[in-house]
Chains A and B, each alone.
Chain A
Amino acid sequence: MNQCPVDIKEYMHEYLDGEISPEHEQILQDHLAICSDCKQDLHELEKTIALVQSMSHIKASDDFTLKVMQNLPREKKRVGIKRWFSHHPFLTAAAIFLILMSGSLFSSWGDAEQFSVTKVPNIVVENNTAIVPEGETVEGDIVVRNGDIRIEGKVDGNVTVVNGDKYLASAGEVTGKVEEINEIFSWLWYQIKNGVNSFINLLAGS
């Protein structure tokens, strides 16, 4: 029985990993030529590797992918939306703006069933009609909803009538613009104009 070099086992594994240096390989070859035990060991190791590699390949079931897809968590969708938002901040801001806008818009359109008029001094209300009496001057803008306005005096500002008519007496005078809004679309347009104006004012003011 020969004395085996201390590192001979190590060299065998280096050889099996395909990473043996020429010097180590020489030592290994020389030793295997004279040591049948080590030769046997290496042979067994090679056989072991071949046996493990000979194992047949096994496949996942046919419905494997389907099952994975069915079990993916649903809340992921919310994560997806969040991710979309963080990737598109401008569109997100625009979307939020639109949602809030339309919310206030439709609610004000909806509950505007009742007659209402901007509270300004010197205005008289009679049977769903706002009257600016003769000789009186109203300072500021007037908005009338679901009713009419009769202007016999003077208005120092804009007059807007939603779902109603305006009667301007010959003696009446409006220094600003007079608008009548009767359709939802013009109402929408009016709101958008207002929104944009206040936005611009906000920007200009800040």
Chain B
Amino acid sequence: MEEFVKSRIKQVLKGDHNAFGEIVEVYKDRIYQLCYRMLGNAHEAEDTSQEAFIRAYVNIDRFNINRKFSTWLYRIATNLCIDRIRKKKPDYFLDAEVKGTDGLNLYSQVQSKEMTPDEKVAKMELQELIQMEILNLPEKYRSAIVLKYIEELSLKEISEVLDLPIGTVKTRIHRGREVLRKQLRNI
């Protein structure tokens, strides 16, 4: 797969615009899923994953062909998600009220805090509940957990995507697991 993608990248570098479409086909589901789990909203996930591919295209000549392309792409997408999460924070409540409910947005989380855990479980599907707890993780734990358990990357790859030492990645995964354990123990 990497070989196929690299041959396509060489085509793109030669000016073959359409070869990039084949690269998008290969990675679109993985990148969209990453963004969806990081952001928890289909619209934002679509926006961010689209932008990740466009950035990859614009900067394709900076990609080192000897490295793994998926790692580079994950890195672009993860950074865009983190940027978006950080920008979104200040207008946490305002944003939620304006947008109304979209299944799993911030507004529903604000509401759900007033419910008992049992009510929460009763009201939400299991999948939604897990997604909500992932979204409640601080973004540095969230990216590590999503890359590890949803995208199923190795610790080494995660450390390259996040540009952090493996030890730091492990610590973040451990902390993330602990937070999730406390939130999900009653299921």
Contact = CB atoms under 8 A, between A and B. Distances in A.
Interface of A: 10, 13, 16-17, 41, 44-45, 47-49, 51-61, 64-65, 67-69, 71-73, 76-77, 80-81, 83-84
A97 to B, nearest CB: 23
Contact of B46 (A56, A61, A72, A73): A61
Interface in B135-187: 145, 149-150, 155, 170, 173-174, 177-178, 180-181, 184-185, 187
Contacts of B17: 69, 72, 76-77, 80
Interface of A (DSSP majority class) = helix
Contacts, number: 107
B25 to A, nearest CB: 5
A55 B29 contact: no
B181 A48 contact: yes
Contacts of B36: 58
**What is the interface residue range for chain B against chain A?**
35 or more
Interface stretch (B53-61, B89-97, B99-107, B110-118): B53-61
A65 B28 contact: yes
> Which of B24, B131, B155: most chain A Cβ within 10 A?
B24
Contacts of A45: 177-178, 181
A41 B18 CA distance: 51
Nearest to A87: B14
Contacts of B61: 83
